[in-house]
A and B are shown apart, each in its own frame.
Chain A
Amino acid sequence: MIPELGLFALALALVVALAQSIVPMIGAARGDAALMEVGRSAAYVQAALIITAFLCLVQSYVVSDFSVAVVANNSHTLKPMLYKVSGTWGNHEGSMVLWVMILALYGLAVAAFGANLPPSFRARVIAVQGMVGAGFLAFILFTSNPFLRLNPAPAEGAGLNPLLQDPGLAFHPPFLYLGYVGFSIAFSFAIAALIEGRVDPAWARWVRPWTLAAWCALTVGIALGSWWAYYELGWGGFWFWDPVENASLMPWIVGTALLHSATVMEKRDALRSWTVLLAITAFAFALLGTFLVRSGVLTSVHSFAVDPARGVFILCLLIAVIGGGFTLYALRAPTLKGGGIFAPISREGALVLNNLFLVTLCAVVFLGTLYPLLLDAINGTKVSVGPPFFRLTFLPIAAPVLIAAAVGPMLAWKRGDLAGALARLKFAAAFALLIAGIAWAAEGGKPLALAGIAIAAWLVGGAVTDLADRILRGGDAWGRMRALPRSAWGTAMAHAGLGIVVAGITASSAWQAEAVRALRPGEAFDLSGYHFAFERVEEAHGPNYTATRGEFAVTRNGRAVARMEPEKRFYPAERQATTEAAIHTTWLADLYVTLGDKSVDGTWPVHAFHNPLVPWIWTGAIFTALGGVVSLTDRRHRVGAPKRSARAAARA
């Protein structure tokens, strides 16, 4: 009964979403306040219905109702409760329900907190949000019904892929979707503005907090995914340039560009047309990501077994949403001209440079990700584009934008003083050289790695300099510090966090040391100054798995460092094995050990890594996201945008 209720709620939500996409649009065109108000109510109702459907689905998982097909295929009675719940979105159907639920929640947020938006504009935003929602609800109902019943119901479920039974991955999809779907708000704002034919700094001020919130969630989501891949897949790496990873990186890059260009538009009323284009593009890449993951067109570690009808449906949605968006843009963009003038050397100029490089970066990732598909379509040649390609293209393009990121915030709006900014950054430059020197002394001279470390230190130094500069400019440092807008703190934190990420990526890629050994219990090996004694192998039991556990005593210069216990787990329900790496972190480096299957000669394959600074990648990413959150609490977002003049509002 509960699953039918869920299905009914979803179907009802589709009808409501259709009403939400049409009625307020007509209301806005006619200036009819009552019709516009329908959109808000519809947004509330649609969100309530989808939340109901989602909870129904969660309930089916929690009580293990195997008469529901997705539960039978993805759950098991012995699974711990956390994974029963997270199993809800651990498969295609459930994750799409989560997707539309988050979309509806964003629509609800606009309806609830958009009181400072002009009524007609808000009505249009809600209508566009409704259209996207209707498309995806139809997708769920027609191709991926999560409440499909099985008759007869199996006695036991097939279980969830054990790799997904992990806290990191339980929360990875919700954050990722909060990010992906959050860009739908920027998209809806852009479409509504194009329909109204007016884009101004107030628009940028409205769009920015939504984009920032989505961007923070996406940052956390990507970091969680990469962290999971690092400790769960047992390869010792954190990023594989896998198509699905790239699919989440592309909207992040465009979203980052959008944040920066929206600032220019808000402060200086320049880059109008460009910012609107980025708002549409960011969501386009979010949808493309969904398409790549859900259609299985690309070979990826994330590919699910898929039904081709789904890929075609999403492709059609993608074309409708993106094609519609870009067509509208092409028609209306010429009317968006205007805005402030600035010299190339200025804060605006630096942000344009940032955008130029970020968009290029995104284009390169796009090309590398889709090239195999393109080539296969043209002449059937099968190729794969792997890490070497991205190392050769991504890094050289990313480096200048990272270097510029420390300089940009030091430049004044409109006309900046580059020499002055660089002079103020002399401490940051000295810091970068110092850190690079230390790295050189400690690890030796790989020029590229040293450059990466120097850039990381430069970013952190630059962020600190920027803050110090603003605070120590005159007397009363304490007062200045308190008066400093939160957005300045946020920028500095985000840039410094990026520096920490760069340090982590550089050090762990350049100076990773590994050992592959075949050992018998009682034997030992050395790696990067650590001594790993392989003591014994034991059988262990978990709630829904059995494990072979190796025990290692790790010492350094005779002193005990850690006991490490990598496992090879076997999940009988899913008939699948997983590798549980043992990780010991000192925050300056990770020791990472995995155990393989016993060989015929009685030895155990042991793979160990010493990964310098690798925890910094996730710490830095979280710090960056926190910077976004701090910026989000800036006073100017709380007091809201200045009201448009009464005349302008009347014209709408």
Chain B
Amino acid sequence: MTRKQRRLSFLILGMAVLGGAAALTLNAFQDSLVFFYSPTEVATKSLPQGRAVRIGGLVEQGSIKRGAGEVSFRVTDTAKAVDVVYRGQLPDLFREGQGVVCEGVLGSDGTFRASEVLAKHDENYMPREVVDALKKSGRWQEGEKK
């Protein structure tokens, strides 16, 4: 096999692998991208039904209720709030007034059923999406820490 033929065969193989990967990626993007909404957007926009989305904001003061194996709380961007129900272990940094991101599905009754709740390692850190959500609702001052 000459150098040229060899190069051609590897080129074809390479294109095939890359093409396959591109197809897989596009397909996966279509199915598994998780969009982010602020509580205001949840109230004003129609969310895709039955599809996992993320919402984020602050855990509203005094809203955490620990029921039997289930926790409910409200996530707010200070303009609007969303009721969230979650079964399972809450992250250690989860507390009232703290920024959180919840992933899950919005029920038809307007309650968000979270499958995952994310708070952050660093208590001074605010998820970027939450900062933007708060900025949109006009309650975020630049330079403000918490």
Contacts and interface: CB of A to CB of B under 8 A. Distances in A.
Contacts of B120: 301, 303
Contacts of A353: 13
Given A341-B3, A360-B21, A392-B24, A161 B66 contact: no
B9 A344 contact: yes
Nearest to A304: B122
A356 B21 CA distance: 11
Interface stretch (B25-33, B42-50, B74-82, B105-113): B25-33
A397 B92 contact: no
A607 B34 contact: no
B92 A163 contact: yes
Given A161-B121, A356-B17, A597 B66 contact: yes
A116 interface: no
Given A356-B14, A357-B17, A301 B121 contact: yes
Given A304-B125, A341-B3, A385 B32 contact: yes
A383 B9 contact: no
B69 A383 contact: no
B25 A303 contact: no
A82 interface: no
Interface in B13-68: 13-14, 17-18, 20-21, 24-25, 27-29, 31-36, 54, 65-68
A161 B123 CA distance: 9
Nearest to B133: A382
Nearest to B119: A301
A516 B87 contact: yes
Interface in B78-97: 87-93
A585 interface: no
Contacts of A118: none
A340 B109 CA distance: 68
A607 B90 CA distance: 11
Interface centre among B14, B66, B89, B120 (most CB of A within 10 A): B89
B31 A388 contact: yes
Interface in A233-276: 233-235
Interface in A383-421: 383-386, 388-389, 392-393, 396-397
Contacts of A234: 89, 92
A368 to B, nearest CB: 8
Contacts of A599: 66-68
B69 A516 contact: yes
B101 interface: yes
A301 B13 contact: no
A368 B21 CA distance: 12
A388 B28 contact: yes
A29 interface: no
B102 to A, nearest CB: 12
Interface in A568-624: 576-579, 594, 596-601, 603, 605, 607
Contacts of A511: none
Interface in B88-146: 88-93, 101, 103, 118, 120-125, 127-129, 132, 145
Interface centre among A303, A357, A603, A607 (most CB of B within 10 A): A303
Given A357-B17, A389-B32, A601 B68 contact: yes
A364 interface: yes
B122 A305 contact: yes
A342 B25 CA distance: 32
Contacts of A597: 66, 90
A592 B36 CA distance: 32
Interface residues of B, number: 49
Nearest to A384: B34
A438 interface: no
Interface centre among A299, A392, A594 (most CB of B within 10 A): A299
A287 B83 CA distance: 41
A163 B121 contact: yes
A150 interface: no
Contacts of B121: 161, 163-164, 301-303
A352 interface: yes
Contacts of B25: 364, 367-368, 393
B82 to A, nearest CB: 16
B66 to A, nearest CB: 4
Nearest to B118: A301
A341 B92 contact: no
A342 to B, nearest CB: 7
A397 B10 contact: no
B32 A386 contact: yes
A393 B89 contact: no
B17 A383 contact: no
Contact of A596 (B27, B90, B123): B90
Nearest to A91: B122
A109 interface: no
Nearest 3 A/B pairs, CB to CB:
A382-B36, A388-B32, A392-B28
22 contacts: A303-B125, A304-B125, A341-B6, A342-B6, A343-B6, A344-B6, A344-B9, A363-B21, A371-B29, A383-B34, A384-B34, A385-B32, A389-B28, A392-B24, A393-B25, A397-B24, A518-B68, A576-B92, A598-B66, A600-B65, A605-B88, A605-B89
Given A516-B87, A578-B92, 12 more contacts: A161-B122, A305-B145, A344-B10, A352-B10, A356-B13, A356-B17, A383-B33, A385-B33, A397-B20, A397-B24, A579-B92, A600-B65
Interface of B: 1, 3, 6, 9-10, 13-14, 17-18, 20-21, 24-25, 27-29, 31-36, 54, 65-69, 87-93, 101, 103, 118, 120-125, 127-129, 132, 145
